Amino acid sequence: MNISARNQLNATVRQINSDGIMSEVILNIGGQEMCSTITTSSVNRLGLKQGDNVKAIVKASSVMIYK
């Protein structure tokens, strides 16, 4: 698959919290945590489960930096 987003991060699924329609997928990326909210049907379609190795693809119009 070709995709225009260049920010592709290797991640591990740490936890999945579902409330029916939506799911919160918490990823571990090099010791840092990232959260993605996707539909539960997408979680099921992808067969996501805790411990899976995935890619987090980030496409954003802005990135904030704080020091």
Largest CA distance in the chain: 39
Structural domain contains residue 63: no
How many domains does the chain contain in total?
1
| Single-letter amino acid, residue 10 | N
pLDDT value at residue 5: 80
Cα–Cα distance measured from residue 67 to residue 10, given in angstroms and rounded to the nearest whole number: 25
Structural domain contains residue 28: yes
Cα–Cα distance measured from residue 4 to residue 24, given in angstroms and rounded to the nearest whole number: 24
Structural domain contains residue 2: no
pLDDT value at residue 45: 97
The count of other CB atoms within 10 Å of the CB of residue 28 is 15
Structural domain contains residue 25: yes
More confident residue, 47 or 65: 47
Q: pLDDT tens-digit profile of 9-61? A: 999 999 999 999 999 999 999 999 999 999 999 999 999 999 999 999 988 77
Residue 66 pLDDT class (50, 70, 90 cuts): confident
Structural domain contains residue 60: no
Pairing state between β 53-58 and 32-39: unpaired
Could you tell me the CATH number of the domain that includes residue 33? 2.40.50.100
Residue 42 structural domain: 7-50
Predicted confidence (pLDDT) at residue 1 exceeds the cutoff of 80? no
